Amino acid sequence: MPPALMWSEVYRPKRVEQMVGNEDVRLAVLKWLQKWVSGTKPLLLLGPPGVGKTTLVHAIATQFGFDLVEMNASDTRNRDSLQARLAPVMNNVSLFGTKSLLFLDEVDGISGREDTGGLDLLVDMMKEPTVPVIMAANVKSAKIKELAKACKTVEFAPVPPRLLLMFLEHVLASEGEKLGPGDKVALVNNCRGDIRNLLNSAQSRAAGYATVSNADVAEIEIQDAINGYFSATSKEKAVQLLVRADASFPDPRYQGMDPESRRKDMIAALFSTIVSSQAGDTLADMLDVLSKADVVVGRVGRRRQWSLLRYVSPMLAHGLYDKSRGKEIRYSQYSMPWPVMGPVFARSQTVRKLASFIGPATHVSKRTCSWLVLPYLVREMINEKVDPAEFALANFDDESVGESLVKEIERAKGAKK
């Protein structure tokens, strides 16, 4: 086997029965395809990266003679471009007379302000599809709620450790490589059910990289890893700390992450840490390193070249080391120093409190109240010389609301000056 080939590609299943795990899911997909007739609801595959969503679609197309038309939905965001690409596919026969199968990957990345109707168009086109349509997403988020209603949903689960270990043993035997029992267990545990991650890590370990003890493989909190990196006295130790951080490199196109996922975004965490520190004349150089790493992460997402992710941590660790020595950089979750962030937090508490009272009274959400209703209310109270304490007692029977209104009124008067 040529050494340049990635194991994750070499051992990608070509047939459905060669896949590992999610047997019930695979059977459900095959039954859906067997019963498909024009107008059948599309299939939405949900599951974390690396569990076999894309692999299953490719295997089905190859095994059952479909002409696979694959699109990354998140790359086509507006209504016109999406319609231009989908319309020619929505017929039952390809140019070569074979059956067509449309696969839209990463549909959870299509939702956003820049989409300008793309998601609505997709929902409309999926109501009466004339070809089998399979879509894939990492999570069933609120962004694709309406799209999910128009589909039959099938959920993938992470592959169980016992199956991962058996598959790893098979790959190692086929490659003529050996790893110790502890290494294999550590690889299985660290991949969290992601087969692609497992094979990439195993190939790296077999090639002599990251040959560390199982204790060193364990991930550490991103805050401790970043603080340790910037205070480490040797490059080797610094690099190990950053590589072992409990962090990830999510595709920047996805904005719907929960707070914990955003906190563990390695590039975002390094950015907020660096810009809120006293980096001095090396700030621009360090941000240049981050920007180059960010380009690689974006390219991985667009082209699905997952093997490139293993280079990002070393790129950051080595690229930032010399530029960050002696700067006393400490982890910061927020990309503003506290003298700026403090007032922001303080005002957010005031606005949140007011929105919780005024929002229901005006029949709007707290968010709409905060950015739309509250500013106009404060301006009218200033113009009409309304006493905030009396207003609060009369409408909400709560003196603390009046105190919060006083703060907003004072702020608005200050801004006007």
Q: pLDDT of 119-135, one tens digit each?
A: 777 777 777 777 888 88
Domain count, the chain: 4
Helix (H, G, I), strand (E, B) or coil at 302: helix
* Closest among 9, 1, 4 to 306, alpha carbons compared: 9
409 vs 412: CA distance, rounded Å? 5
Q: How confident is the model at residue 109 (pLDDT cuts 50, 70, 90)?
A: low
Same domain, 207 and 228: no
* pLDDT tens digits, one per residue of 67-103: 887 777 655 555 666 666 666 666 554 445 557 888 8
Residue 114 in tokens:
């820049």
Which domain-ending residue is among 282, 308, 335? 335
DSSP letter assigned to residue 127? S
Same domain, 177 and 136: no
Rounded average pLDDT over 234-261: 71
What does the mean pLDDT of the chain come to? 79
DSSP letter assigned to residue 248? B
* Closest among 230, 216, 402 to 320, alpha carbons compared: 230
In a domain, 278, yes or no: yes
171 vs 203: CA distance, rounded Å? 10
Rounded average pLDDT over 351-365: 89
In a domain, 191, yes or no: yes
Same domain, 343 and 378: yes
DSSP letter assigned to residue 369? I
Q: How confident is the model at residue 107 (pLDDT cuts 50, 70, 90)?
A: confident
As beta bridge partners, residue 268 has: none
Rounded average pLDDT over 347-373: 88
119 vs 107: CA distance, rounded Å? 9
Same domain, 36 and 86: yes
Residue 153 backbone phi and psi in degrees, to 5: -100, 135
Position 75 scores a pLDDT of 54
* pLDDT tens digits, one per residue of 184-243: 888 888 777 888 778 877 887 777 654 344 444 456 788 888 888 888 888 888 888 887
Q: Is the pTM of this model over 0.95?
A: no
Q: How confident is the model at residue 374 (pLDDT cuts 50, 70, 90)?
A: very high
Same domain, 316 and 198: no
**Top-confidence residue, 340 or 56:** 56
Q: Are 92 and 99 in contact (CB under 8 A)?
A: yes
Same domain, 150 and 72: yes
Which domain-ending residue is among 218, 237, 258? 218
Whether residue 337 has pLDDT greater than 60:
no
Whether residue 256 has pLDDT greater than 80:
no
Position 384 scores a pLDDT of 92
Whether residue 381 has pLDDT greater than 90:
yes
Position 216 scores a pLDDT of 44
In a domain, 5, yes or no: no
In a domain, 7, yes or no: no
- Sign of the torsion angle spanned by Cα atoms 372, 378, 379, 383: positive
DSSP letter assigned to residue 64? T
In a domain, 305, yes or no: yes
Query: What domain range is 375 assigned to?
Result: 338-416
**What is the pairing mode between strands 133-137 and 152-155?**
unpaired
Residue in the structure block whose two tokens are 């599809």: 129
In a domain, 210, yes or no: yes
Same domain, 240 and 309: yes
Same domain, 259 and 326: yes
Same domain, 276 and 248: yes
Q: How confident is the model at residue 113 (pLDDT cuts 50, 70, 90)?
A: very low
